[in-house]
Amino acid sequence: QGRLQDRVAVVTGAGSGIGLATVRRFAAEGARVVCVDIDAEAGKRAADEVAGEFVAADVADEAAVRDLFDGVVARHGRVDVAFNNAGISPPDDDSILETGLDAWERVLRVNTTSVYLCCKHVIPHMRRQGKGSIINTASFVALMGAATSQIAYTASKGGVLAMTRELGVQFAREGIRVNALCPGPIATPLLLELFAKDPERAARRLVHVPMGRFGQPEEIAAAVAFLASDDSSFMTAAQFVVDGGITGA
Ligand code: NAD
């Protein structure tokens, strides 16, 4: 029996990178996984691999997010875990001097507003159950001046951290745990595409990782499974850092 046996777990951004690795890990631990992605092909592939369910949704769209969680509960009877992970890091979000308002608003909408929407529409269900675990993906860049230049991205993840703390405290007595995950640089398409555009940036970043390497998506998935499971039952409103030592250095 896995730690997530028969739990119903929703993963957003399930088609790639950290989301995909977590889909596999959740399934290996016994969960019924609902894979959500705006990219239907990738999301469906992930769901098929674990005999899970695919739901196409843009997590920045309130009607889609409401339908997502209401639908999951209608079909599965409950929702135990929400891994709010979908996010973007577009190359046009760079120095504040070059980041246009459109790029800023798009990043905030997909990375931060989406977390607000997912929490808003999953919490009523978890409240009824008297139990639930929400994990919001932030980043190490929200904990330090990481000199990544990505101003909207960094701000968007700071918002996720603050929102997570607030919700964790607010719902602590109702059995709903809300934690934030702060990955360091992880070798996923999101990061690799950014570094392909600017290889020097990759080298600069690597210098600051005490372990001297980028993380693998599976190393984040292991942490998410812990936060999703009852093994982390006394954790809420926390920032869980998995970064190869960057923020400790
Ligand atoms: P990724 O690009 O490999 O995967 C992201 C997935 O989210 C994709 O499948 C994409 O289609 C989906 N997605 C994007 N916008 C969406 C939307 N509006 N609605 C639904 N799905 C959408 O990225 P990743 O590296 O696995 O990143 C996952 C999360 O981890 C992001 O929130 C990212 O900011 C965060 N993160 C990544 C790193 C890293 O180094 N890779 C570090 C810290 C935090």
ipTM for this prediction = 0.99
d(CA 236, CA 238): 5
User: Residue 196 has what pLDDT?
Assistant: 87
Any domain includes 175: yes
User: Residue 190 has what pLDDT?
Assistant: 86
Query: Whole domain around residue 33: which residue ranges?
Result: 8-242
* 25 Cβ contact partners less than 8 Å away, ≥ 6 residues apart: 218, 221, 222, 224, 225
Atom of ligand 1 nearest to the CA of 137: 32
The DSSP code for 235 is: -
Q: Which residues pair with 33 in a beta bridge?
A: 9
d(CA 98, CA 94): 6
Ligand 1 center–CA 218 separation, angstroms: 14
Note if 116 is an active site residue. no
Ligand 1 center–CA 167 separation, angstroms: 22
Any domain includes 179: yes
Ligand 1 center–CA 53 separation, angstroms: 19
| SS3 annotation, 27-80 | HHCCCEEEEEECCHHHHHHHHHHCCCEEEECCCCCHHHHHHHHHHHHHHHCCCC
Contacts of 95-98 spanning 24+ positions with Cβ under 8 A: 95/149, 95/151, 96/151
Any domain includes 249: no
Given the structure tokens 């719902």, which residue do they identify?
Answer: 171
Any domain includes 34: yes
Number of domain units in the chain? 1
- Which of the listed residues 10, 11, 12, 18 should we mutate to test ligand 1's pocket, taking the one with most ligand atoms within 8 A of CB? 18
Any domain includes 107: yes
State the amino acid at position 78 in one-letter form: R
User: Residue 18 has what pLDDT?
Assistant: 98
Q: Which residues pair with 177 in a beta bridge?
A: 133
CATH number, domain containing residue 142: 3.40.50.720
Question: Which tens digits make up the pLDDT trace of 171-213?
Answer: 999 999 999 999 999 999 988 888 888 888 888 888 899 999 9
Any domain includes 248: no
User: Residue 49 has what pLDDT?
Assistant: 98
Indicate whether residue 37 lines ligand 1 (CB < 6 A).
Answer: yes
Cβ contact 52:27 at 8 Å: yes
Q: How far is CA 93 from CA 141, 152, 214, in A?
A: 14, 6, 22
Any domain includes 37: yes
Indicate whether residue 132 lines ligand 1 (CB < 6 A).
Answer: no
User: Residue 19 has what pLDDT?
Assistant: 98
User: Residue 1 has what pLDDT?
Assistant: 83
Low-confidence ranges of the chain (pLDDT < 50): none
Residues 167-194: b if buried by 16+ CB within 10 A, e if exposed: bbeebeeeebbbbbbbbbbbebebbeeb
Any domain includes 1: no
Question: Which tens digits make up the pLDDT trace of 5-31?
Answer: 999 999 999 999 999 999 999 999 999
d(CA 21, CA 43): 12
User: Residue 204 has what pLDDT?
Assistant: 85
Helix (H) / strand (E) containing 196: helix 189-197
* 18 Cβ contact partners less than 8 Å away, ≥ 6 residues apart: 85, 137, 183, 186, 188, 217, 220, 221, 224
State the amino acid at position 224 in one-letter form: V
